[in-house]
Amino acid sequence: MPFNLSSFLQSSALRLSGSLLPLTLPLVLLAATRLVQAAPAQTMQLRANVTEANSKTGVVVARGNVLITYAARQIEATAAQAIYYSKEGKIILSGNVNILQEGNRLKGETVTYLVNEGRFVALPQENSQVEATYIIKDTPESAPAPAPIPTNPAIVKPLKMPFPVAPRPEGAVLQPPNPDTTAPR
């Protein structure tokens, strides 16, 4: 029978830490082996130094060097901590969060991933910003047309720009300059 994380969470509570690790390591390795062998398209893999799962609440808490891999959506995320709310379908990652999806990158202090919507909401550290890098793929329909290149640049004439004209009082007549008063002495 393939390993199912939801069934596992509903059947028992799991706590892995440094002191219980020797006792639970065989169970974790068996579960991980079954998970890899029967990896369906929607498998999300979680790795961390410490993981706690509560079957009653459906909440999984992972702390320390958290790595989440969601192959079906090409997501890889790292953080200091992650809390997965299975009933609500959301994951809250915190502490130097770095998410990579199809070459796009999102960095922040806290990022909430709404699994059912496939949407991220990122928040920065205080006095900082969220950093996002997106790869934009141009398609032939959306790519701008190249600018036309003139075949003979000599034909292109410069535009005539009017000289600025000073405002004059209504009814004033323009007088040609007086050569006696404008000539240098």
| CATH number, domain containing residue 72 | 2.60.450.10
Answer whether residue 51 is part of any domain.
yes
Answer whether residue 102 is part of any domain.
yes
Contact 98, 87 (CB under 8 A): no
Answer whether residue 13 is part of any domain.
yes
Q: 128: which DSSP letter?
A: -
| 17-20 contact pairs (CB < 8 A, 24+) | 17/50, 18/50
Answer whether residue 183 is part of any domain.
no
Contact 53, 67 (CB under 8 A): no
Q: 154: which DSSP letter?
A: G
The whole-angstrom separation of Cα 58 and Cα 85 is 6
What integer pLDDT is reported at residue 131 of this predicted model? Answer: 92
Residue-by-residue pLDDT tens, the chain, 185 positions: 444 444 444 444 444 444 444 444 444 434 444 444 444 558 899 999 999 999 999 999 999 999 999 999 999 999 999 999 999 999 999 999 999 999 999 999 999 999 999 999 999 988 999 999 999 887 777 667 777 766 665 565 666 666 666 666 676 666 666 666 655 65
Q: Which of 80, 87, 91, 81 is nearest to 44 (CA)?
A: 91
Answer whether residue 91 is part of any domain.
yes
What integer pLDDT is reported at residue 96 of this predicted model? Answer: 94
Q: Which of 57, 55, 96 is nearest to 78 (CA)?
A: 96
The whole-angstrom separation of Cα 38 and Cα 1 is 9
Answer whether residue 161 is part of any domain.
no
Q: Which of 105, 40, 111, 125 is nearest to 82 (CA)?
A: 111
What integer pLDDT is reported at residue 2 of this predicted model? Answer: 41
Answer whether residue 62 is part of any domain.
yes
Q: 86: which DSSP letter?
A: T
Answer whether residue 151 is part of any domain.
no
Q: Which of 140, 124, 144, 142 is nearest to 132 (CA)?
A: 124
Tally the domains of the chain: 1
Domain that holds residue 64: 5-133
Would the pTM of this model clear 0.75, i.e. be above it? no
DSSP class per residue in 51-100: EEEETTTTEEEEEEEEEEEEGGGTEEEEEEEEEEETTTTEEEEEEEEEEE
Place of tokens 């047309």: 145
Q: Are strands 104-114 and 90-101 parallel, antiparallel or unpaired?
A: antiparallel
